[in-house]
C-alpha cells in the first residue's frame, strides 16, 4: 500500500515480461521493470530477463492521474475494530474508478486513519453525500457486503426536488433499471422490475426516499421518472456538462440513515448523517 492505494495486478499473456509490459503500457512500464518496481506473485522483482507463463501475474504501482482536489473533509461517525462509518461529502467518489483515484473516500481514509485494509461494504454515487460503511479488516468485508446484497440494510435518503400537486404520494416506484458500460445514464426498460423505491413528501420540496433495492442511480432515475428530478442532478433527466472544479451546486441528495443487525454480534446498528437536509 502506498498513500492508501494498492498495486495494480496485470495478468500476463506469457513470455518475456519486459517486452509484454512495454508493448501494452509503454515506456513507463518498461522503466518500472528496469528500476525493480514490478514484482511477481511472490514479491520478487522481475527484470529484463524474466520470463513468466501465460496466466501469471505481476504487480506495479500506477502513476496517478492529475486530479482536482475535493476540498471537503470526511467526518468519521464511528470508528471501531471492525467498522468505520463516515459522512461522505458530495463530489467525492467512494472508491477508485476511472479518473477518480486518490481523490476518493477509500484512499483518503486509508491514508489518514492508517488502515491499509479498509474496504467499502457498499458504495454511494460520487455526487451523493451521507453515510458510508467501511470494514476495517479484509476478512470482515464479505460478512457486511452480504447484508447489502441480501437487502438486509435499511437505508433512508433525503432529497430536494420540485413539488407536483398532481402527483399522488406516498407511492412505491418499481421499474427495471439497466446501466450499460460506456453510458453515463441508467435507463428504465421493459421487463421484470429490479428496482423499488418508496417516495414520500416530507415537507415543501423535501422528500424521504427508501430504496428496497440498490441499482445504480436508482433514486435519481425514479425521481426523474416521476417528473420531479432531484435538484442539482447533472445526469437526469438530461446530461449537463459540469466543470470538474465546480463544487458550488451539489446534487441535493443525502444518504441520511443506515440500519442493520450486525452480522458478527447481532446488535442493532444505526448510523445517521450529521449533515443538514439537502
- Told to judge if 238 belongs to the known catalytic residues of this protein, a careful annotator would answer no
Mutual angle of helices 17-25 and 27-34, in 10-degree steps: 150
Q: Are 121 and 131 in contact (CB under 8 A)?
A: no
Place of cell 446501466: 179
125, 164, 204, 246: which is the annotated catalytic residue?
A: 125
Backbone φ/ψ region at 95: left (φ over 0), alpha (ψ -120 to 50), beta = beta
Biggest CA pair distance of the chain = 73
Q: d(Cα 123, Cα 134) in Å, to the nearest integer?
A: 9
CB 123 within 8 A of CB 106: no
Strands 129-135 and 119-120: antiparallel
Beta bridge partners of 100: 97
Peptide bond into 131 cis (omega under 30): no
List active site positions: 125
Amino acid at each position: 500500500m502506498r498513500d492508501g492505494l494498492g498495486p495494480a495486478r496485470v495478468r500476463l499473456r506469457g513470455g518475456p515480461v519486459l517486452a509484454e509490459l512495454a508493448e501494452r503500457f509503454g515506456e513507463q512500464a518498461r522503466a518500472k521493470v528496469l528500476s525493480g518496481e514490478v514484482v511477481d506473485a511472490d514479491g520478487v522483482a522481475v527484470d529484463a530477463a524474466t520470463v513468466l507463463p501465460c496466466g501469471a501475474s505481476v504487480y506495479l504501482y500506477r502513476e496517478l492521474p492529475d486530479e482536482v482536489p475535493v476540498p471537503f473533509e470526511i467526518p468519521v461517525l464511528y470508528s471501531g475494530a471492525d467498522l468505520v462509518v463516515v459522512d461522505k461529502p458530495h463530489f467525492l467518489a467512494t472508491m477508485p474508478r476511472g479518473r477518480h483515484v486518490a481523490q476518493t473516500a477509500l484512499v483518503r481514509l486509508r491514508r489518514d486513519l492508517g488502515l491499509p485494509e479498509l474496504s467499502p461494504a457498499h458504495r454511494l454515487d460520487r455526487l451523493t453525500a451521507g453515510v458510508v460503511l467501511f470494514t476495517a479488516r479484509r476478512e470482515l468485508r464479505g460478512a457486511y457486503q452480504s447484508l447489502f446484497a441480501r437487502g438486509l440494510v435499511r437505508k433512508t435518503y433525503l432529497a430536494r426536488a420540485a413539488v407536483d400537486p398532481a402527483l399522488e404520494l406516498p407511492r412505491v416506484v418499481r421499474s427495471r433499471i439497466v446501466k450499460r458500460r460506456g453510458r453515463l445514464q441508467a435507463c428504465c426498460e421493459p421487463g421484470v422490475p429490479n428496482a423499488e423505491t418508496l417516495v414520500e413528501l416530507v415537507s415543501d420540496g423535501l422528500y424521504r426516499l427508501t430504496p428496497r433495492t440498490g441499482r445504480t442511480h436508482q433514486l435519481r432515475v425514479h425521481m426523474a421518472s416521476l417528473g420531479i428530478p432531484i435538484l442539482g442532478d447533472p445526469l437526469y433527466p438530461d446530461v449537463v456538462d459540469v466543470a470538474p472544479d465546480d463544487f458550488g451546486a451539489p446534487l441535493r441528495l443525502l444518504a441520511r440513515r443506515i440500519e442493520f443487525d450486525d452480522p458478527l454480534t447481532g446488535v442493532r446498528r444505526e448510523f445517521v448523517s450529521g449533515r443538514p437536509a439537502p
